[in-house]
A and B are shown apart, each in its own frame.
Chain A
Amino acid sequence: MVLTPECSVELLTLMVRSRLFEEKIEELTNTKLIHGTTHLAIGQEAVHGGVSPALEKEDWIVTTHRCHGHALAKGSPPENLLAEFFGLRQGVAKGLGGSMHLIDLEQHNAGSSAVVGSSVALAAGIALQLKRMNSTSIVVAFFGDGASSRGIVHETMNMASIWGLPLLFLCEHNYYGMSSKAQDMVSVDSLSTRGVAYSIESCTVDGNDLEAVWAAVKQASTFIRQTGRPYLLEAQTYRLAGHSKNDNCHYRSREEEEEWRKRDPIDLFKERLFERHVLDVESYHQIVSAERENLDSIVRRLIKESDTLSLDEAFGYVYAQEELL
C-alpha cells in the first residue's frame, strides 16, 4: 500500500511536528521553564505517525508515559498539550495530569497510564464496552518492550482472546526499557511471537518506516473489524532520546545510536517523497519552518499565561460530583 501524495505530506508534517514538539519540551525542561519529568519519543515518530492516521476517527487509543506523539497524531491541538506542560487551566488535563497524562476525549484519546503496562488493560475495558454496544470501533493499546514483561499485559492478552475484543495490541519495541536492553529482559527476539501463546494473530513491522506502519495498522484494523478478534502488532523502532530527563545514556554506545540515526524515520520518509517527486527540499524546509514558528508562537503565548486552577478547584476533581444517570 502506498500513501497518496496529499496524505504523505500530511503524515511527514505530523512527524516533523512531533519531533519539534519533543525538542521544544526538552529545551523547556532543560531551561526549567516547565516542571517535572518528560519522556520523549524522538526516533519513534513513524509509529505514532503511522498508527493514528490509519485509524478511524471514532477508534480509541490508550497510551503510555511516552505519550506526546500519540496525542499529537490523534489530532490534539499542540497548544492544549503544551498548556498542560505549563500546568495551566487550558491544558488537556487542566494542569492536573502533566506530561505523562495527556488526554483528549474529543479525539478518542482516553489518556495514558504512567504505570508501565497497566494501560493495556484499560484499553481492553474500553474494547469490552464497545463490543457490548455493537460498535464498529476498535481500541489501540500502546505498550513497549519493557511493559511486555508485566503480568497484566499477559492477563489482558488472554482475556482479549477468549472474549474476542476489538483490541489492537501495539507494541512499540524500542529496544530499551529505561536502561535495560530488551535482549537482556525479554525472552523472545520478536515480541509479536507472543501472540501465538494467546491465539492472537500478529506480525512485526519496521517501526521506522511510516508507510509500512500505516499499511500494517490498516490491515490489522480491518482484520479486527471483520473477525472481532484482537491483533498484536510489533513495531520495531529505536528511542533516540534518553528514557527521561537527566538520562545520559551510559548504558548504550554512541555507535549504536549513530547506526539508528541513519535510519531516522523522518529522513527515511522524506527521502522517499523526494524520490517520488511528491516533495522537494524547499517545500520540506517550508514545512519545518512553519511548524517551528507555530510551536514558538504558542510557547511565547503560554509563557506569559498564568491562569491555573486554585487549590479549591483542584479539590473539586478528587470526586466526580454530578450523577451519571
Chain B
Amino acid sequence: MRVLSYREAIREALYEELARDQNVVLLGQDIGRYGGCFKVTSGLLEAFGPHQVIESPVSEEALVAVGVGSAMVGMRPVVEVMYGDFSTLASDPLINHAAKLHFMSGGALKVPLVYRTPMGGGTGAAAQHTQNLESLFTNIPGLKIVWPATPKDAKGLLKSAIRDPNPVIFLEHKGYDLEGEVPQEEYVTPLGVAEVKKEGHDISVISYGHAVFTALEAADLLEKEGISVEVVDLRSLKPLDTPALRASVKKTGRALVLHEAPLFGGFGGEIVAQIVEDAEIFSHLKGRIRRLGGLEMPTPFNKELESSMVPSVAKVAQTLRSAVKESSYTGKDHR
C-alpha cells in the first residue's frame, strides 16, 4: 500500500471533497498560496480557485461564524483555524451557534461545518500555541468531535466529517510529517467508531490523537518484557464508541487512559466513568484504572521543560508495568 504523510492525507481528503462538490469550500487564514500555517492546503487554491478556497483576514470569530451562516444555506465549509489555541476566539460561533441552530430552529436549519485545527505541543511555541483544548468542546451537545492519529484515519474521517450534516470539530495533531499507509481507492471512515490499533490481553490503553503513538511505542517495549498491551484509538470523542472501549477493558481487565491535555478535568475522566459505570465491566476489573495526561501547567518554552509536559513513552511504559504488576497480586488474575 502507498504511504502518505498525515499532512498529505488530509490534503488528499480536501482535494477529493472539493472536486466532488463545489459547495465544499475552504475558509481560513493564509490557506492560499502560502498553503496554510502547516502547509496542509498547499496547491488547493491553484487547483480549485478562489471560488472554493477563500482567504480571510485575522478574524477568527467572524470567520467561523461566516462558515456557520454559509452552512445554513447550502455551503459545506471547512474552516481552518491556524492553532487550536485560537478556538477560544471561535468558541461563540461553534458553541452558541453551530452546536445549537439545528435544535433551536426545530430542525429547520442544518450546519454541516467542519472546523479544522491543530492541537498540541513539542514545537517550542510556548503556552499560547501548544494546548490540547478538546475538552472545550466535549461537553457541548450538538457538536461531533474527531481526532485522528494516523494518515489513513485522517483522510477517512475528514471525508466523513465533510459529508456529515452536523458541525464537526476535526482536531489534528502536529505530527504532520508522520507517515502511514493510505489506500489508493476511495474510502470513508465512519464517525464514532474506535479502532483497536494493537491487540493485547494484559491491559488496555485507551487514547486518541498524538498520544496513540506514545501508547504504541510503549506497547512495543512491554511486548519484549512479556506484557501484552492492547491499544484502543478512540478516533472520535463524540460520539464516543463506548461499546468498543468497554469490550477491550472487559477482555484485559485493566486500563490506562492516556491523553496529552492536562489530566485534571480532561476527557480521560469521562472515559474512566464510561468504563466503571457499567456493572459488568466493573466486575471484570482486576485493578484500579490509571490515567496519564498533561501537567497542570501552561506549556513552558524551555525545551527540556516542555518535553516533560506530556506523558513520555517511558512514563507510559512504567505505568503499564506497575498497573499489571500491582493487580496481578490481587488474586483475581486467573486467566
Which A residues are within 8 Å of any B CB, using their own CB?
A: 60, 62, 91-97, 101, 103, 105, 110-111, 113, 115, 118, 121-130, 132-133, 151-152, 155-156, 158-159, 162-163, 314, 316-325
Q: With A103-B105, A159-B62 given, is the CB distance from A324 to B56 under 8 Å?
A: no
Among the listed A93, A125, A129, which residue makes an inter-chain contact with B65, where contact means beta carbons less than 8 Å apart?
Answer: A125
Q: A162–B109 Cα gap in the complex (Å)? A: 28
Give 25 CB contacts A-B under 8 Å.
A93-B108, A94-B107, A111-B101, A111-B105, A113-B96, A115-B97, A118-B97, A121-B62, A121-B93, A122-B66, A126-B72, A128-B70, A130-B73, A132-B25, A132-B51, A152-B62, A155-B57, A163-B54, A317-B103, A319-B144, A320-B107, A321-B165, A324-B76, A324-B110, A324-B112
Given A155-B61, A158-B59, A325-B163, residue A123 in contact with residue B96 (CB < 8 A):
no
Nearest A residue to B163 via CB reads A325
Q: Is B290 located at the chain interface by the 8 A CB criterion?
A: no
- Chain B residue at minimal CB-CB distance from A98: B104
Distance of A60 Cα from B68 Cα, bound (Å): 15
Q: A103-B108, A122-B65, A320-B110 are in contact. Are A110 and B51 (CB under 8 A)?
A: no
Contacts of B74 in A (CB 8 A): 129, 133
CB contacts (< 8 Å) of A132 on chain B: these are 25, 51, 75
Bound CA–CA A180/B112 (angstroms): 37
Min CB gap B292→A, angstroms: 31
B101 to chain A: closest residue by CB: A111
Q: Count of chain B residues with Cβ under 8 Å from any Cβ of A?
A: 43
Could you say which of A62, A93, A125, A162 contacts B105, with CB atoms under 8 Å apart? A93
Q: Within 8 Å CB of B71, what residues of A?
A: 125
Structural contact, A92 and B106, CB atoms closer than 8 A: yes
B97 near A122 with CB under 8 A, answer yes
Q: Assuming A111-B104, A156-B66, A319-B102, what are 10 further A-B pairs, CB within 8 angstroms? A: A96-B105, A96-B106, A101-B105, A115-B92, A125-B71, A314-B103, A316-B107, A317-B107, A325-B21, A325-B163
Measured CB to CB, the residues of B under 8 A from A are 21, 25, 51, 54, 56-57, 59, 61-63, 65-76, 92-93, 96-97, 101-110, 112, 141-142, 144, 163, 165-166
Residues of A within 8 A of B70 (CB): 125-126, 128-129
